Amino acid sequence: MGKLLAFWLCTLLASYTSAQHVEMVLVNEGIYTPLYGSAEEGQVSVSAFYMDVIPVSHGDFLEFVREFPQWQKGNVIKLFADERYLDNWTGTTSFPEYLKDKPVNNVSWFAAKAYCECRGKRLPTVDEWEFAAMASEDKADARRDSLYNVGILRSYEKPKTYLTSVGQSPKNYWGVKDLHGLVWEWTLDFNSIIITGESRNNGNTDRGLFCASGAVGASDLMNYAAFMRYALRSSLKANYSLTNLGFRCVADTENYDLITKK
């Protein structure tokens, strides 16, 4: 299975022709304490990286599947996407016009990863995504701001936010939009907490993220929005395609110039 995936992705990357220009902004390096960690042992250093300002839209993804038909609805290998893949599309390269500037959803981790790699980018890690997402409009770290956290929770409660056009929210401290309140977003290592165990969890696989026991070992018991994100990630499989799940891409600083010159 691993060899099949490697062959599929290598074939896809070998046929890469051009990079779509999507505005990216620099997120500077920093240190933060993830939800599951302690101030003494759980701090994580995040290197500087570039992040797409907005999530990938249906229109963006349409250009991708036109270039790479193996990722079209009806063509994708079942190993890489479940039956809900691009469920709201009407054909292999068509969808209702109103979806064009909406965040693409019903895409699997495999498809999201392939999209980013074919654009010379990659999916963000959990730490990179959370680091960028803890910023408000004027603070790099707004997690202690109760009004900011309440605002995030309210945005999560709104129905059918995946039908909202991308780019409508204010830019945060780094210049990124729509990290909250539009769609949940795939990360490169979305299942690392459940599958691998980490040093900040004392080397044990943390299966206590489910239900009420998710509070055990958390560094911030009031950050319920982060609990929700970690709970969602822990429930996913890479071939899942969910209505409220999309993605965006990031790039390492050393690759950014290469991407923008394509």
State the pLDDT confidence band at 227, using cuts at 50, 70 and 90. confident
Q: Is residue 10, in this structure, part of any structural domain at all?
A: no
Q: Is residue 27, in this structure, part of any structural domain at all?
A: yes
Domain that holds residue 73: 22-261
Instruction: Count the domains in the chain.
Output: 1
User: pTM here?
Assistant: 0.82
pLDDT of residue 52: 98
Residue range 163-196, pLDDT digits in tens: 999 999 999 999 999 999 999 999 999 887 544 3
Q: Is residue 169, in this structure, part of any structural domain at all?
A: yes
CATH number at residue 74: 3.90.1580.10
Cα 16–Cα 20–Cα 26 angle in degrees, nearest 5: 115
d(CA 252, CA 47): 9
Residue range 67-88, pLDDT digits in tens: 999 999 999 999 999 999 999 9
DSSP annotation of 208 reads G
Q: Is residue 145, in this structure, part of any structural domain at all?
A: yes
**CB-based contact 219:34 (threshold 8 Å):** yes
pLDDT of residue 191: 82
Q: Is residue 5, in this structure, part of any structural domain at all?
A: no
State the pLDDT confidence band at 92, using cuts at 50, 70 and 90. very high
Q: Is residue 172, in this structure, part of any structural domain at all?
A: yes
Residue 94 has pLDDT above 90, yes or no: yes
The tokens for 222 are: 């009031």
